[in-house]
Chains A and B, each alone.
Chain A
């Protein structure tokens, strides 16, 4: 038996203050009413820092700062804006170890993922949009596209820094200024990003960060001087935002929930499909809007595939997010753990068969073992509702037509996966799936050049690529 000794990444690369303020007009300051809230390490429940809770007046000040900065920022030649973005990208690369450890501390995701996935993609997004800043006239949106103005951006807790990059990089490249609200449970990397902006000598007011709970975000998106709202998060909140901004003339992009089908045909490369299914649902503890949370297996290979999948799941290493060998980290919050637990209990109560590998979980913190449900049908709630955790629902199909029908039979449509060695089948099925991103023989692969976004209740608008510029250009 070969058991790996603990291999923890050092925490000492991150120095945390006990308290963090709001980043408004180039400076950190406390909330007007002095309110704060704690942010905790979900793996240990240790309080990492107190963070300012922005009230309406703080949001007003941040929006006003962004409005002032817009005049000069939008007038800069694109090549000048690009210099700042390139500089930010390079600083992120230089500080990537620090930012990766910070992200794992505040979010609970394994250091292997924050180090090898999140941070490289964050830097890549800034590099990519830096490249567009002086080429906007050639992006296909007219000869002289103009920025929209002040963007109010609200991001989720699953990829705190990466979602910030998806929002901030295209906004700045196109000449907009930003007020961004990070999620309540993961505010720290956005505040460190504010420090990166200062280090890059970004003009004051171009990026403002207001931390707080849902109320802060609600005030931001309703603010009359915000021209463009970008939101990534739950479909329920997205619906509220769409209602709130209806008729105001504000532009909106929404990137919401998902219940993606990962379809494995009998001619799939089985070993790699097993890896892809594992990556599809257990990557980032399943806290992924485009997670492959519904596995559709062709019946002729279902039994063998499940045997292989279970065998693979027994090798998943669940535990300390800072251990370099950890595959599955902590659930981000007690509230999310409660939701995952509740939906899983409903899955069992509705008659699906639950299975998890034998894996010891730490005593403190928020943890949920990787779980699969077999014998799931379209009528089960765990096949319809987004769980946003490491829980996979397994369904079967007989023919390609049935696979497509089941995959599309969901209120969502963010992503899907197809596993087959037959190219013609991949193209035929992909053409009939109603989802914004379709992966073939891979899953959860991201690239700044590739647009991302949903159908139906998964939202509207696209982020990433040339398409991602459109939301920020008039």
Chain B
């Protein structure tokens, strides 16, 4: 099934024909997986993997070139005292900051993601969203984080949401397209599953939970539903899609719970920065503190990890 060949009625029938999600059951499963105890070598490996999966993010009105350059330096070398510490997966900024970040990241191997499409609300005309996307790609972003139109989704106008994703995908060209579902505004797990499939059918390379700008951001059960969706989508269509929880993931303990979730839901194929990212800002420093704790046996204070 491809979206372009699908009428609105077909798309609705397909999305509403997906198996329902039992709220109590999915939350119980996520809570059970959160009890997994990850120790010793497994923990050390998980921390390094999590560092490589971080989309180190700044999305503030107060962002300046200086702030963005500092963030890029941190992303390339998260722990300046330890060359064995890997770089993060990507730096994520607003489109206006892409030129600065592109210069700072040149040659580092760290990806550059830009939010686009009138982030975070998505409430702008399509032409504006496409121009936003083209500008970010032209300035050097190789990943685009777009938002879906939640208004259209909640109104049941799935075709409009789909068409918009298809158009942005085209405008993004070779850049990887991450589609933000803003799950906190979709409210039900059934909607999260439907929006995940809708985005994947329309060509998303990644599906992402949240903007980080609303009350409910990434949660374990929401991410579990999305991991089930990418797993089932690959089984049916043969194409692998990545997952990015964003917002509210602050500690190493949180991050490891997500890695367990991947491991026991979608499977080890997704345990890679190519297929899973954390949209986060403060998470990285906690990962670094835990990393040095494993190496040295004691916790260093917050002054021993860099700001930004």
A contact residues vs B (CB 8 Å cutoff)? 1-7, 112, 116, 267-272, 275-276, 315, 324-325, 421, 441-442
Give every chain A residue within 8 A of B40 (Cβ-Cβ): 5-6
Q: Which of B177-222 contact A (CB under 8 A)?
A: none
Are the C-beta atoms of A441 and B264 separated by less than 8 Å?
no
A455 to chain B, nearest CB (A): 26
- A145–chain B nearest beta-carbon distance, Å: 36
| Contact yes or no, B39 A5, CB < 8 A | yes
Q: State whether A269 touches B21 (Cβ < 8 A).
A: yes
Q: Which of B24, B37, B43 contacts A441 (CB 8 A)?
A: B24
CB distance A7 to B39 under 8 Å? yes
C-alpha spacing A270/B38, complex, angstroms: 29
How many A-B Cβ pairs are below 8 Å? 69
Given contacts A6-B40, A275-B29, 20 further A-B contacts (CB under 8 A): A2-B46, A2-B263, A2-B271, A4-B37, A4-B42, A5-B39, A5-B41, A5-B42, A5-B43, A267-B20, A269-B22, A269-B25, A270-B19, A271-B25, A272-B21, A275-B28, A276-B25, A325-B37, A421-B20, A442-B24
Given A2-B268, A325-B37, residue A269 in contact with residue B42 (CB < 8 A): no
Bound CA–CA A276/B29 (angstroms): 10
- CB-based contact A275/B38 at 8 Å: no
A330 and B28 CA atoms in complex are apart in Å by 24
Q: How many residues of B contact A (CB 8 A)?
A: 29
The prevalent SS among residues of B at the interface is: helix
Chain B residue with minimal CB distance to A115?
A: B35
Whether B26 lies near A272 (C-beta < 8 A) is yes
A-B contact pairs, 18 of them (CB 8 A): A2-B45, A2-B46, A2-B49, A2-B259, A2-B260, A2-B271, A4-B39, A4-B42, A5-B42, A5-B43, A112-B35, A267-B20, A269-B20, A269-B22, A271-B25, A272-B29, A324-B37, A441-B25
For B224, give the chain A residue with the smallest CB separation.
A271
**What is the minimal beta-carbon distance from B129 to any residue of chain A, in angstroms?**
33
B234 on interface, CB distance cutoff 8 Å: no
Contacting residues, chain A, for B24 (C-beta < 8 A)? 441-442
Bound-complex Cα distance A194 to B64 (A): 69
Which of chain A's residues has its CB closest to B256's CB? Answer: A2
Q: Does B228 contact A (CB under 8 A)?
A: yes
How many Å lie between the Cα of A442 and that of B19 in the bound state? 16
In the complex, chain B residues whose CB is within 8 Å of the CB of A442? 24-25
List residues of chain B with CB within 8 A of the CB of A3.
42
Which 4 A-B pairs rank lowest in CB-CB distance, beginning with the nearest? A272-B25, A7-B37, A269-B22, A272-B22
Asked if B36 and A116 make an inter-chain contact with CB atoms under 8 angstroms apart, the answer reads no
Q: Which residues of A contact B42 (CB under 8 A)?
A: 2-5
Q: How far is the CA of A421 from the CA of B36 in the complex (A)?
A: 30
CA distance A3 to B37 in the complex (A): 11
Chain B residue contacts of A116, Cβ below 8 A: 35
Minimum CB distance partner of A116 in chain B: B35
CA distance A276 to B21 in the complex (A): 13
Chain B 30-54 against A: per-residue CB contact (8 Å), 1 yes, 0 no? Answer: 0000011111111101100100000
How far, in angstroms, from A324 to B41 measured CA to CA in the complex?
16
- Cβ–Cβ contact A275 & B37, under 8 A: no
Give the distance to chain A from B239, nearest Cβ to Cβ, in Å.
19
**A269 and B19 form a contact (CB under 8 A):** yes
How many angstroms between the C-alpha atoms of A272 and B265 in the bound complex?
12
How far is A325 from B41 in the complex, measured between Cα atoms in Å?
Answer: 15
The answer to whether B36 and A4 have CB atoms under 8 Å apart is: yes
**Separation in Å of the A326 CB from the closest CB of chain B?**
10
Task: Return chain B residues, CB-CB under 8 Å to A268.
Answer: 19
Most buried by B among A116, A268, A271: A271
The residue that B21 contacts in the complex, of A1, A7, A271, A324, with Cβ under 8 A, is A271
Q: Which of A4, A270, A315, A325 has the most CB of B within 10 A?
A: A4
CA distance A135 to B42 in the complex (A): 53
Rounded to whole Å, the gap between the CB of A277 and the closest CB of chain B is 11
Smallest CB–CB gap between B226 and chain A, Å?
A: 12
- A residues in contact with B268, CB < 8 Å: 1-2
CA distance A409 to B19 in the complex (A): 29
Chain B residues, CB < 8 A from A5: 38-43
Measured CA separation A226–B8 after assembly (Å): 73
Which residue in chain B gives the minimum CB-CB distance to A441? B22
Determine the residue in chain A with the shortest Cβ distance to B17. A267
Give the CA-CA distance A441 to B40 in the complex, in Å: 37
Complex CA distance for A272 and B38, rounded to whole angstroms? 25
| Contact (Cβ within 8 A) A271 B19 | yes
CB distance from A377 to the nearest CB of B (A): 27
Contact with A along B1-23 (1 / 0, CB 8 A): 00000000000000000011110
Point out the residues of chain A lying under 8 angstroms from B28, CB to CB.
Answer: 275
Rounded to whole Å, the gap between the CB of A142 and the closest CB of chain B is 38
- CB of B37 within 8 A of CB of A271, answer no
Q: How far apart are the CA atoms of A272 and B264 in the complex, in Å?
A: 14
Residues of A contacting B49 in the complex (Cβ-Cβ under 8 angstroms): 2
Expressed in whole angstroms, the minimum distance between the Cβ of A373 and any Cβ of chain B is 25
- Distance, CA A421 to CA B17, complexed state (A): 12
Closest to A112 in B: B35
**For window 51-79 of chain B, which residues contact chain A by CB distance below 8 Å?**
none
Choose one: A2, A7, A271, A421; the contact of B26 (CB below 8 Å). Answer: A271
Please indicate the chain B residues that have their CB under 8 angstroms from the CB of A325 in the complex: 36-37
CB of B159 to closest CB in A, whole Å: 25
A110 to B25, CA, bound (A): 21
List, in ascending order, chain A residues with CB within 8 A of B21's CB: 269, 271-272
A291–B126 Cα gap in the complex (Å)? 55
Residues of A within 8 A of B45 (CB): 2
Q: How far is the CA of A267 from the CA of B38 in the complex (A)?
A: 36
> Closest approach, in angstroms, between the C-beta of A115 and any C-beta of chain B?
9
A3 to B264, CA, bound (A): 11
Are B35 and A324 touching (Cβ within 8 A)? yes
Bound together, the chains give a CA A272 to CA B41 distance in angstroms of: 32
Closest chain A CB from B36 CB (angstroms): 5
Identity of the chain B residue whose Cβ is nearest the Cβ of A443 in the assembled complex: B25
Cα distance A271–B232 in the bound complex, in angstroms: 11
Q: CB distance B38 to A315 under 8 Å?
A: no
Find the A residue at minimum CB distance from B271. Answer: A2
Question: Which residues of chain B come closer than 8 Å to A421, judged between CB atoms?
Answer: 19-20, 22
A276: chain B residues within 8 A (beta carbon): 25
